[in-house]
């Protein structure tokens, strides 16, 4: 049970750090606007799907979880 507590503390600190970075405005200019993100607008309707941003965040989370599992 002690290991679970450590994992929860590390995950909470990482989540708090990510929230603080996003709250401070980090990524405002490029997050969701990477090359390859889909944005389509016509008339008064628009569609936006940040596929490359989702893939990048998925790889980042996978690497972090892999590192946590290693140690």
Dihedral pair phi/psi, residue 40, rounded to 5°: -130, 130
3-state secondary structure of 26: coil
Which segments in the chain show pLDDT lower than 70? 1, 27, 71
pLDDT of 34 reads: 84
3-state secondary structure of 24: coil
pLDDT of 8 reads: 86
Report CA torsion sign: 53, 54, 59, 60. positive
């Amino acid at each position: 049970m002690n290991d679970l507590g450590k994992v929860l503390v590390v995950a909470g600190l990482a989540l708090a750090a990510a929230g603080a970075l996003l709250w401070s405005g980090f990524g405002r200019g490029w997050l969701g606007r990477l090359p390859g993100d889909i944005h389509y607008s016509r008339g008064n309707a628009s569609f936006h799907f940040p596929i490359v941003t989702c893939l990048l965040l998925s790889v980042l989370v996978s690497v972090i979880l892999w590192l946590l599992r290693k140690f």
